[in-house]
Amino acid sequence: MAADIGFDDKVAVITGAGGGLGRSHALEFARRGARVVVNDLGGSVDGSGGGDGPAQQVVNEIEALGGEAVANADSVATAEGGQGIIKSAIDAFGKVDIVVNNAGILRDKSFAKMDSDLWNPVVDVHLNGAYHVTAAAWPHMKEQNYGRIINTSSNSGILGNFGQANYGAAKMGLVGFTNVLAIEGAKNNIKTNAIAPVALTRMTEELFGAMGEALQPEMVTPIVIFLGHEDCPVNGEVYSAAGGVISRFFVGNTQGFFDANLSPESVRDNWDTIRDESGYEVYPDSSGELGKLLKMLG
């Protein structure tokens, strides 16, 4: 029987870990031997306010389990905050091996009522926040020739959801971010993947009704633990996680239609062929589609 997944001598940074998904991730990494930086701004669901109380509470829980952790209340939304979060890891533990970009806020509104005060903070936390923290960790991971990064996307970005243009744009942006980091980090054994979780947290407690009981954060954490391990076999992939169900999201490309004299009319007349999903292909990077195009054009 294979050994349990463990993280002895590994250091994990989890953002937004003062509650919900992040807390669950932090506790499980600690249970399995990782030393943990618990980052949380301590603000409300919309990102206002702040304080180190939530992060410190999770640190206290980890220490009660016999683990090691430090609290950090820097905001992921600024470059200085991202640097501060990783500095906490370096100062306390000497390195950073794993980054889980989990911090998030909500400012939902239909697009007709969306404004920059709703748009910018959400993008700053989810997308720019992942950039700021990962950018600070990246040089350390390259130097040690090792890293695991897990970005938290959402089906609201991959598939869309009413009233969440800001959130959805940021979450799908994280898929592109994941894809590029996976390519650029591969030579240094830095693997980057993403999850699209569905879980009952303070951000979603009004949405699920009775079904919420089955959607506990602890049912998302196992895929995060697996993707964060040194034996993680995948790079640049996205996994849905909800209530014990793990599945893969991917982008497929149809076989399509070629016409050397392409016109709007030939697009119209071959629309069903263009959209036909049979025989689709999933490419590891953009060169896959370019290879297909060269073959068709040749």
| Active site amino acids | 167
CA distances from 163 to 13, 43, 77, 170, 228 (A): 31, 22, 22, 13, 32
Question: Residues 154, 103: contact at Cβ < 8 Å?
Answer: no
Q: Is 279 exposed, middle or buried (0-12, 13-18, 19+ CB in 10 A)?
A: exposed
Instruction: Indicate the SS3 state at residue 97.
Output: coil
- Tokens representing residue 111 in the block: 């697009």
Q: How far is CA 54 from the centre of its chain?
A: 21
CA distance 96 to 144: 9
- Residue 5: phi and psi, rounded to 5, are -75, 120
> What is the signed CA dihedral for 190, 283, 104, 25, rounded to 10 degrees?
-50
CA distance 70 to 83: 15
- Tokens representing residue 214 in the block: 């089955």
Per-residue DSSP letters for 237-296? -EEEEETTEEEEE---B------TT--HHHHHHTHHHHH--TT-B--SSHHHHHHHHHHH
